[in-house]
Amino acid sequence: MKSRSEVNIREKTTAFDFQPEFRKTVLGNGVRVVTEHHPFSRSTSAAIYVEIGTRDESIGINGAAHFVEHLVFKGTKSRSAFEIAKSLESVGGELNAYTSREVTCFHATSLREHLPLSLDVLVDLVGGAVFDSKEFVKEKDVILQEIDMSAEVIEDYIFDLYFEKVFSGHALGMPILGTPKSLNRISRKDLFDFYHHRYGGRNLVVSVAGDVDHDRVLELVGKSLSRSKNYSIRKKRVRPKQKAFTQVISRPSEQVHMLIGFPSGAFTDSARFESYIVNAALGGGMTSRLYQKVREDRGLVYSIYSYLHSFTDCGSIMIYAGSSQKNAPKVLKIISMEIKKLLKKGLSKRELDFFKTQVKGSILLGSDDVESRMNSIAVNEMVFGEYRPVDEVVAQIDKVSLGSIHEYLERFIDFNKSGVMLVGDVDEEKGSRWVENSFEK
């Protein structure tokens, strides 16, 4: 095995009955291996993150990262598609993957005694896929059906449409699934080259949490992954500019789907913890202002919530609601009024304390789940390049004040920078008039 560097941290905490031990090793070719030991856990969660997502594609191969994610499950040098499928299921575990705009992740959850199997399968997927030509054709058809199916679920699809508009002209605006046009342009060689030149070296983070031994994890993955090249082929990411807009898309639907968004901070932004609190207060749950005002008090919607989406260099805070055409103008008006009220008066001390407790509780509950911890230590490595103990995060949330909330709101929540999208059975003129009557641009 090539030379490597190591970090060993034992978290000092009063929030747990034990001290989870974090360890990190960087293999000689740049592959990072991070683990967090939870001695009382019967399960383990393991993943290999590839720091390649949709934003790292060119327009000509849009959808390639997601296509690769699908195709590696169709066979490797040592396993058939069926053998991959049954590998973890046969022992009661789970194997899955996902592609986002910034990463591709292959992950497995199993009993601790089956961790060697989990890691063997994950390494096989990341390093041994064969890209069979017949499977390539079949899977392309599957993804084309997936694109059609996703467009039918407007509550989800509206987010893709929003990103396409707000990040127009930037790779972050491209759909994760690609388009029928881009998929039909992609060849098997395009996909294999994308996989072969990106899935290795510094682009990989192996993350494991549970009752695990770090040295054992290195034994299981080090020999295979240390042979991959030290790739740094990912093109430099350019920070996007978010564009203000109003767009109404008319299409048959029982409801009018609404999405209102504002720029927010990146993962590394100094105000990221303030964004957590504002999101929780605005529409993060049943006690949030929008849920109480729009659903509980007025009964105008079934679904309304806010959502914080952070990237490595930017972010968005978005509000979704779905209502009948009759109620849609009222819903938009109330959303606008609540945002203006928040900008004018901020949060009360009681609200701040309430939502800080809520956010901290959610984080601490998540820290008991090994899959959540596996994801957390991987994200911290990819974003910050270091370990961030749970108690440190909780302490930073404690520092959020009424003043820092006010600074966040002043900095980010500006109607002149907002994006508003309506999708449903409403014509463009009418929908634009609703928005104009509610939101001042």
The model's pLDDT over 137-160, given as tens digits with 9 standing for 90+, comes to 999 999 999 999 999 999 999 999
Q: What torsion, rounded to 10 degrees, do the Cα atoms 307, 320, 316, 242 define?
A: 170
pLDDT interval class at 233 (50, 70, 90): low
pLDDT at 236: 82
Residues designated as active site: 69
* Look-up of token digits 């291996």: 33
Taking the C-alpha atoms of residue 102 and residue 312, their distance in angstroms, rounded to an integer, is 8
Asked if the model's pLDDT at residue 28 lies above 70, the reply is yes
**Lowest-confidence range among 110-119, 121-130, 192-201, 277-286?**
192-201
Q: 3-state SS of the chain: helix, strand, coil percent to 5?
A: 50, 20, 30
Taking the C-alpha atoms of residue 351 and residue 347, their distance in angstroms, rounded to an integer, is 6
Taking the C-alpha atoms of residue 189 and residue 419, their distance in angstroms, rounded to an integer, is 38
Q: How many residues does the chain have?
A: 441
Report which of residues 13 and 342 the model is more confident about: 342
Asked if the model's pLDDT at residue 347 lies above 70, the reply is yes
pLDDT at 14: 42
Spatial neighbors of 216 by CB under 8 A, at least 6 apart, are none
Q: Are strands 419-424 and 245-250 parallel, antiparallel or unpaired?
A: parallel
Percent of the chain with pLDDT over 70: 94
3-state DSSP assignment of residue 10: strand
Q: Quick one: which H or E segment has residue 307?
A: strand 303-310
pLDDT tens sequence across 255-287: 999 999 999 999 999 999 999 999 999 999 999
pLDDT at 19: 74
pLDDT at 15: 41
Q: What is the mean pLDDT of residues 237-241?
A: 92
Q: How is residue 297 annotated by DSSP?
A: I
pLDDT interval class at 439 (50, 70, 90): confident
Cβ atoms of 282 and 408 closer than 8 Å: no
Taking the C-alpha atoms of residue 321 and residue 305, their distance in angstroms, rounded to an integer, is 7
Q: Which amino acid is at 262?
A: F
pLDDT interval class at 203 (50, 70, 90): very high
**Lowest-confidence range among 60-64, 322-326, 369-373, 436-440?**
436-440
3-state DSSP assignment of residue 87: helix
3-state DSSP assignment of residue 111: strand
Q: Which amino acid is at 329?
A: P
pLDDT at 227: 77
pLDDT interval class at 16 (50, 70, 90): very low
pTM: 0.92
Asked if the model's pLDDT at residue 223 lies above 50, the reply is yes
Q: What is the mean pLDDT of residues 362-367?
A: 93
Question: How is residue 46 written in tokens?
Answer: 């393991």
pLDDT interval class at 12 (50, 70, 90): very low
Question: How is residue 180 written in tokens?
Answer: 């029928």
Q: What is the mean pLDDT of residues 221-244?
A: 81
State how far the alpha carbon of 353 is from the alpha carbons of 273, 358, 400, 405, in Å. 14, 9, 10, 12
